[in-house]
Amino acid sequence: MKLDIGGEEKFEVVAEALWTALNDPEVLKKCIPGCKDMLPIGEDHFKLILNLKVASVGGSFEGEIALRDKQPPTQCKITVSGAGSLGHGSGEATFALAQNADGLLMTYNGEGEIGGLVAGVGQRILKGVAKHLIKQFFTGLRREIVAGQVLSS
């Protein structure tokens, strides 16, 4: 089953601060919903261990995430793949940062392919779950950026 995601998020920080957070494995580990561990396996390449719940079904996943095609501090591609008790999936997304008069705007677009038990819950439900997980990620990212600014003051 194919799943497309995309959207925009506004931040009130400079691009370099957001870029630093997005490239920090410790920050990402705290922001990725269900992330139990994120272990380096190469430059900008990590093994992920996740526990997630999709609809009424929960399970664990192991996979990989990589940051590619970086153009600091404005653009990056993220690739992810994994499998677990609920099924398997892979995908990629590109994010771009643009500073404007209102602050910093991040746009993101991606697509993925999902199979196995998790795909059986239906595309409408999965799209809602994906939006919820993305919202959790950005909430965590904002929290980590604020914490980082407080610590660096």
pLDDT at 1 over 60: yes
Give pLDDT, residue 119.
Answer: 80
The helix/strand/coil state of 101 is coil
pLDDT at 150 over 60: no
Pick the CATH number of 2-148 from 3.40.50.300, 3.30.530.20, 1.20.1070.10, 3.30.420.40: 3.30.530.20
Would you kindly state where each structural domain of the chain is located, as residue ranges?
Answer: 2-148
Q: How confident is the model at residue 55 (pLDDT cuts 50, 70, 90)?
A: low
Residue 111: phi and psi, rounded to 5, are -145, 150
The residues, ordered by sequence, that sit 6+ positions from 101 with a Cβ below 8 Å of its Cβ are: none
pLDDT tens digits, residue range 64-90? 999 999 999 999 999 999 999 888 999
pLDDT at 91 over 90: yes
What the block records as the tokens of 65 is 């995430």
What the block records as the tokens of 136 is 């959790």
pLDDT tens digits, residue range 10-41? 999 999 999 999 999 999 999 999 999 999 99
What is the Cα–Cα distance from 44 to 69, expressed in whole angstroms? 11
The helix/strand/coil state of 70 is strand
The pTM (predicted TM-score) of the whole model is 0.89
Mean pLDDT of the chain: 90
Segments of the chain assigned E as strands: 2-11, 35-42, 45-54, 57-71, 75-84, 87-100, 103-115
What is the Cα–Cα distance from 11 to 18, expressed in whole angstroms? 8
